[in-house]
Amino acid sequence: MNRYRLMLIGLLIPTLLMIPYSVISFYTDFANKNPDPLSVTVEFRGKSYDAVEGKKAFEQYQCMGCHTIVGNGAYFAPDLTRAYKRFGENDAALAGFMLSGTPAKGMPPMSGRGMGDEDAYRVVAFLKYTDRLDTNGWPGEGSWDRDGSPDSAGAKKLIGADIWQIILGILLFNLMVFAVILNYERGKEDAGRRKHE
Ligand code: HEC
């Protein structure tokens, strides 16, 4: 086999390996799995409120002045990304909590800031949406306490599938390196043979 054909094979192998990797990358955690905010709604007294109007209400009452969503905002109060889940996905309980607050602990009663039932349910729709955001596992199991402080939960443990991904990755990488070395050695041999001729 001549040197150029080997070089071509050495380039072809990594190229062919990249194709399945590229395809797989679209079908894993990288793909956007977030719902359409207009389709996330809550019902209250026969009316439906969606997450888009919910976000406007969330901004209007300046929740971000104290809270965070996916870690962005102010660090005075708990992160609200998964608040909907913490309230047992109970719309009425969450709306009620917002309206009456816990003044002793720093959460102002929103009814005192002009929030009515309708706006409360709008915000609930928004928090229902943030609860469905694909945050790629954030926050980790128990990594953020209800008060927003990181606890001592250990790092995520490796599972079987992860280990196989790593082993396969190492094997494929070695194959690529092997192809390059083989190509280089063959090239040297060819050059040597040519010199003797
Ligand atoms: C002045 C600061 C402040 C503002 C503004 C504020 N909050 Fe809070 N909020 C707090 C504090 C402090 C707590 C924690 C209270 C506790 O531990 O009982 C809290 C708690 C909460 C909780 C319960 C969190 C949990 O997971 O247990 C929710 C839900 C919540 N707030 C929603 C909102 C929403 C929605 C808004 C905007 C409409 C808002 N808050 C505006 C300070 C604030």
Closest ligand 1 atom to 86 CA? 26
- Higher-confidence residue of 154 and 188: namely 188
Query: Which residue, by CA, sits nearest to atom 5 of ligand 1?
Result: 63
pLDDT for 74 beyond 90: yes
Q: For 68, phi and psi rounded to 5 degrees?
A: -125, 155
Distance of alpha carbon 182 from alpha carbon 43, whole angstroms: 66
What pLDDT, on the 0 to 100 scale, is given for residue 151? 44
pLDDT for 137 beyond 70: yes
Contacts 24+ apart (CB under 8 A), 49-53: 49/118, 49/121, 49/122, 49/124, 49/125, 50/125, 51/125, 51/126, 51/128, 51/129, 53/122, 53/125
Query: Which residue, by CA, sits nearest to atom 12 of ligand 1?
Result: 106
Distance of alpha carbon 27 from alpha carbon 86, whole angstroms: 29
Residues with CB under 6 A from ligand 1: 61-63, 65-67, 76-78, 80, 83, 86, 97-98, 102, 105-108, 110, 123, 146
- Judged by DSSP in three states, 68 sits in strand
Closest ligand 1 atom to 63 CA? 37
What pLDDT, on the 0 to 100 scale, is given for residue 186? 87
Tell which residue, 28, 46, 56, 55, has the closest CA to residue 136.
28
The DSSP output letter for 69 is E
Lowest mean pLDDT among 2-6, 43-47, 68-72: 2-6
Query: Which residue, by CA, sits nearest to atom 31 of ligand 1?
Result: 107
What pTM did the predictor assign?
Answer: 0.69
Query: Which residue, by CA, sits nearest to atom 32 of ligand 1?
Result: 98
Treating both helix axes as pointing N-terminal to C-terminal, what angle do 117-131 and 51-60 enclose, rounded to 10 degrees?
Answer: 110
From the CA of 135, how far away is ligand 1's center (Å)? Answer: 21
Mutational test site, ligand 1, from 53, 75, 76, 107, max ligand atoms within 8 Å of CB: 107
What pLDDT, on the 0 to 100 scale, is given for residue 1? 62
Lowest mean pLDDT among 9-18, 25-34, 119-128: 25-34
Q: Average of pLDDT values for 55-82?
A: 94
The DSSP output letter for 152 is -
Q: 41 - beta bridge partners?
A: 50
Query: Which residue, by CA, sits nearest to atom 41 of ligand 1?
Result: 63
Q: 150 - beta bridge partners?
A: 144
